[in-house]
Structure 1
Amino acid sequence: MESCKLPRDLVVDILSRLRVKSLMRFKCVCKFFYDLIKSDQHFMDKHYEISKAKTDCVLLEVGRDFREYYLLYKESECNEIGCIYLDIPGMQWVKCCKGMLCLISTKNDKLDKGDYLIYDILMWNPSIRKVKALPSVTVPYKAPCDGLYALSEFGFGISNNMTWKVVMLLEICSSDGRTVHQMTMVYSQDYSDSWSLRQLNLVTSFQNIRDMSNDFYLKGRYYWGTVGFNQQHIIHYLIWFDMNNEVCGMIELPKSNIDSVSIMNETIAVLRYSPIVGNTNCIDIWLMIENDNNTYWCKQARIDYGLNIYNNIEWWRPIGIWNVDGELLVFQDRAVDPDWDPDSEHSEPDVPYFISQDLVTQERKMFSISKERKSITIASNPTAGNLFQVYNERNTDTIEKWKYHMFMQRIYSRVYYESLYLP
């Protein structure tokens, strides 16, 4: 840095506009670069804000009983769409906030008398390849009888004072589905980098959250999609938890038949598949508008996807907006020949695919993630006190069987931005 003729502020500005992959290499250039990239909080914040304004990337979650996770991204040089498969063994929940992933697992969601719930939690930044195991969480509830099971939902975010928090919504049920006990807890980081568990006086019924499966972090709040009933009509809601004030609230969503809830232009966007006259496929986009503490919904766009092919049972499933400029990510869902054998070399399935559509130019790019992709593997055993990680940057070309049974599966996305934040 001493021999550099550029002003320091200009060097910092240039570096803040680079991809994380490049910055990881530049740490070796000099001590100034190393300290700036590794530990300067102001630089991390500046880099994240710039990355958020230009990155096209989503965390894609597919499957129901067995979930798979992918990072879909655009190559900035060639505008091609790439994919990183996240090989995360044994993790039942994956949440993201500011480039950080929170991985959560439990081995004992079925409880007998005297049992406690125990959760293992990891924080992982796949961009900088850093992972941290948090102390395991033992829920302060002792099962009073046999045959209980736990329903769990989680949120992950950060408060204004840069405190990371994991929100835990727990509901203990009997074998007949009757709720026995509910509790809301926050597992939070303090200034000494230790973590503590607190129970809040908030009780939110969330059994229907799983029916919608949309959740995300935005501007200090974590949101879950859920459904309710009003005079035999299905109503869609968002339940939110404020990371700063630690209070809950609810927002009613527009219309019915919501396919997904995403983020567009730093606000909440509702995506809805709408077959209309003539069997035409359309996708409607609604944006949430907040004004003087009032919330209402404005229809932003309607996109025509042509004729619906009923005999092939084909339709489009919108799963998210994946950049700030407004690019729609759509999954093309299609039934497959029931005689298709995934283990046969002579059987060719009709592979479903994705479409990325620019909402300004209307340009569409079609792609599938069943081609070669890089795999990042992370393995851990925090309960035993051991933590290790293995990154296998290998090309794989395996058959993703979830694609051929999508009518029984789920697929949705969360906006993801690269960051230098340390777990």
Structure 2
Amino acid sequence: MKLHCEVEVVSRHLPTLGLRNRGKGARAVVSLCQPRPPARGEQAGPHSACLLVSTMKDKRGTRYEQLKENIEQFFTKFVDEGKATVRLKEPPVDICLSKANSGSLKGFLSAMRLAHRGCDINTSLSTLTPVKTSEFEKFKTKMVITCKKEYPLGKNFPYSLEHLQTSYCGLIRVDMRMLCLKNLVKLDLSHNHIKKLPATIGDLIQLQELDLSDNHLESFSVAFCQSTLQKSLRRLDLSKNKIKALPVQFCQLQELTDLKIDDNDLIQLPFKIGQLKNLRFLSAARNKLPVLPSEFKNLSLEYLDLFGNTFEQPKALPVIKLQVPLSLLELSARTILFNRIPYAFHIIPFHLCQDLDTAKTCVCGRFCLKSFIQGTATMNLHSVAHTVVLVDNMGGTEAPITSYFCSLVCYINSSDMFK
């Protein structure tokens, strides 16, 4: 029985000697073995099971004898992420396993538990022979596929992949086998025919870069925005698709630093886009944006490209939707948002959560729901970005931006409306 993973063996004697472990795992094949082949007519008992850790540098491996009653503890809190630690009594070491297939790891640990208890192991044990070099080819971390002929149909992707590119393969959907690659850091699905993202794409908990450029996406998944990718995704390329709008939940991808949405049919940007505090590179050229959302001015970018959009001239007259007196709903919403009182679907009705999620931010920093004044002003894009690509062929770097005012006082005091 074998397990392909990364292994780090930590001696528990090192701290007492004032030494530290190197703190880095190595690609290895971990085998559950019998010390010697059983003689004719002899059956190998569970007491004979041992552990063999083989690496590319040491194919003969390091052997840990007699697992029976020799395992002090299993650490399996992160087994679903392909990580676990086995603590042996003799020698006093911790065998740290990582980057393993979670299903294979669970099966391997179950077999080790049986060996520790002295029970029969319902699988064949490996023999103590040097591991072949071909075994380590399964540790492939990068795979690039650029045509249909190269696309694997009869076999799975190597579980250890960290970078996968499948371009020009004619994919009409995301291959569900890709969603099992828990170590994937970069996924490139550009130049295909994908129309929709699966709700479970958030299972790729390590994913930092996703390229979906030149596909047929017409909308963007809310489930994607609310997945674990909120904490991992850094770069996202959605250029050359057919997206008309991004959901408000898109701004929950708080770790985004690089966003490309050029050559789509965007008629608006998420109005909470100012919440993307880590965003540094934004490219939304050649879309159909008539105006920028009010929170756009909260961005702090290094590079901005809005060339080729259909920006409109700021309207002279504002849209007035003030309510006097304010409704109980408006007062309650403003109080909740201003005092940052937590809310969720299990506390208040779903439609009220949606209202709070889509509340406008006044220029004074307060919030408004349905009672506000809406105006349009012009902003110089250099106020939010160090490098700005010209908005048009006339050399302009200004664009219209929507502004909201929670009261008449805020509207009158706003100097932006009188420039």
Instruction: With the length of structure 2 as denominator, give the TM-score of the two structures.
Output: 0.21
Structure (1 or 2) with the greater helix fraction:
2
Which structure would you say has the larger RCO, counting Cα contacts within 8 Å and 6 or more residues apart?
Answer: 1
User: Which is greater in Rg?
Assistant: 2
More strand per residue: 1 or 2? 1
TM-score using structure 1 length: 0.21
